Amino acid sequence: MKKWDDNKAWFMVIPVFLVVAVSAILPLMTVVNYSIQDIFGPDNRIFVGIEWYREVLTDSRLHDALNRQLLFSSLVLLIEIPLGILIALMMPKKGWGASLSLVLVALPLLIPWNVIGTIWIIFTRPDIGLFGAAINGLGIAFDHTGAPLDAWITVMLMEVWHWTPLVALLAYAGLQAIPEAYFQAARIDGASTWATFRYIQLPKMRGVLTIAVLLRFMDSFLIYAEPFVLTGGGPGNSTTFLSIYLVKLAVGQFDLGPAAAFSIIYFLIVLLFCWLFYQVLLKVGTGDKS
Amino acid sequence: MKFQKRTVGLIIYFFLLLLPIYWMLNMSFRTNADILSVFSFYPHEPTFDNYLKIFTDKSWYSGYLNTIYYVSMNVVISLMTALPAAYAFSRYSFLGDKHLFFWLLTNRMAPPAVFLLPFFQLYSTFNLIDTHFAVALSHCLFNVPLAVWILEGFMSGVPREIDEMAYIDGYSFPRFFLTIFMPLIRTGIGVTAFFCFMFSWVELLLARTLTTTVAKPIAATMTRTVSASGLDWGLLAAAGILTIVPGALVIWFVRNHLAKGFALGRV
């Protein structure tokens, strides 16, 4: 659609600009301010330049957290995307079954994030949890508060349980947008289920799947509340992801300088991915119209 | 045959999906002593004590009221500011529009943990700490960009000829926007409101940091219980179940547009 060329449209954007500026630009400036100073009190501060950045960039615990984060986000994508597509393919296309499946699928997305953690604590505890008790009953020792691997499995299970529905809903929206004529043509040609999926459904879902991949990557990169409630970043530091480490640094130890420098670096990493995201989205947007 | 396999698969998935929630529901109808002593798949002696406690103890139920209060405030602010902006993005090209849109997007992706400390400082300066407004405003950080994004998608689905016709017929912009355009995209507005509600409802980190007592959200009341020694699992489970209820209620109204909304109106 061609758009009107008019700079007066800025007036309509001003409210949004102001609201987001107050809640984004001002805080970010404060963070930058902190990241280059050592603050002892309101009137006692020393300019330290890039000192904090150097400290943060050479912090081995931060490197560990970043590696952990990347591994986590990759695993999330590898499991949730195929599973989400599979669920979307299984969901009925119309009728009451479709409405019911939509509501059920979306349910985990509406639960406050810390409650998600609570649900999974209750579910996986060896003494009172169904999952924990069942696994232990099979003779496998399982304790997410003690063993790092078990903690990882629990966090992954929770993450998959919580966010696969988002992928499923996106894929479902993509499937719904395919005209029925495509399937009729496929049926006439005698195409197998696999061929229909590979050559009709999958290509048509490209747009929504791109959004799904990128949203899942972003949000898993920023994950905080669920693992914090479930494992508190432990045992040891085995489930300390970037956000958890940052909050530990800023609120727990009150190291404002390093925490601020870390925030800036964290934000720049996210910004980089965000830019890639936007480029891909633009490409997908134009690809559909041609 | 194929249809049956599908349905069976779906039923298995829903079973696994509902199992953890069912387990919490099961806990919520039992007393703490019962939970810790007997392992049971269903409540033997169902009790409403946990729910009663939440509905009668002010420190619990005020948490719900606070959450509902700031979430509604946030939805209103987000919609009011995002509607004109989304219209501008969908209809006009103007100086820096693409950059501005990208900048808005980055705020949706910003880690809330990064903003934790500066928000606290900023709102302290303006004496806004522990007010509902502070939480509502801080949630605008991710909800306003999201609202602009979804609304823009829905608005772009309305042909521009409708705008042109209205202007030719002598409609002023506000009158056109309120009486013709908004009814046309009412689905989109509903879906956007739902998503703003949802993301504000599930957020904890900022809400917890910016409040102490007066505007404390229910989620924070729950974490306080978690961190205390001697957990009351039954009470915790009941509180958790009650946080799911509002979401489960509103979801019904947008069920048919849910998928499109999650695709940010761009399907």
Residue B185 maps to which CATH number? 1.10.3720.10
Decide if B267 is inside a domain. Answer: no
User: Are residue B23 and residue B86 in the same domain, yes or no?
Assistant: no
For residue A119, list chain B residues with Cβ-Cβ distance below 8 A: 20-21, 23-24, 240
Q: What would the two tokens of residue A105 be?
A: 């699928």
Determine the 3-state secondary structure of A39 from DSSP.
Answer: strand
Split at pLDDT 50, 70, 90, the class of A119 is: confident
Report if residue B133 sits inside a domain: yes
Chain A residues closer than 8 Å to B251 by CB: 103, 106-107, 110
Domain count, chain B: 2
- Token pair recorded at residue A109: 């997305």
In this structure, are B101 and B201 located in the same domain?
Answer: yes
pLDDT, mean over chain B: 83
Residue B174's domain comprises: 54-262
Q: Is residue B29 part of a domain?
A: yes
The size of the A-B interface in CB pairs under 8 A is: 286
Q: Which residues of B touch A191 (CB under 8 A)?
A: none
Residues A112-134 have a mean pLDDT of 83
Q: What is the pLDDT of residues A163-190, one digit of tens each?
A: 999 899 888 888 888 888 888 888 898 8
Same domain, B18 and B59: no
Instruction: Judge if B6 and B94 occupy the same domain.
Output: no
Identify all chain A residues contacting B222, using CB atoms and an 8 Å cutoff. 114-115, 118
B30 and B131 in a single domain? The answer is no
B46 touches chain A (CB under 8 A): no
Structure tokens given for A121: 């604590």
CA distance B151 to chain A (A): 13
A95, burial (CB in 10 Å: exposed 0-12, middle 13-18, buried 19+): exposed
Q: Are residues B140 and B117 in the same domain?
A: yes
Q: Does residue A235 have a cis peptide bond before it, meaning omega lies within 30 degrees of 0?
A: yes
Distance (Å, whole) CA A171 – CA A193? 17
Task: Note the pLDDT tens digit of each residue in A60-74.
Answer: 888 888 888 889 988
Same domain, B104 and B232: yes
Domain presence at residue B154: yes
* Residue B196 and residue B82 share a domain: yes
Identity of the residue in A4, A17, A267 whose CB atom sits nearest the CB atom of B91? A4
Q: Does B262 score more than 70 pLDDT?
A: no
Question: Are B43 and B72 part of one and the same domain?
Answer: no
Say if CB A3 and CB B93 are below 8 A apart: yes
Neighbouring residues of A136: CB distance < 8 A, sequence distance ≥ 6: A126, A142
Asked if A113's CB is within 8 angstroms of B202's CB, the reply is yes
* Domains of chain A listed by start with CATH number: 61-289 (1.10.3720.10)
Compute the mean pLDDT over every residue in chain A, rounded to the nearest whole number: 82
Question: Of the candidates B24, B77, B112, which has its C-beta nearest A19's C-beta?
Answer: B77
CB-closest option in B111, B209, B222 to A266 = B111
pLDDT above 90 for B77: yes
Same domain, B6 and B90: no
Same domain membership, residue B110 and residue B39: no
Are residues B163 and B191 both part of a single domain?
yes
* Interchain pair A169, B107: CB under 8 A: no
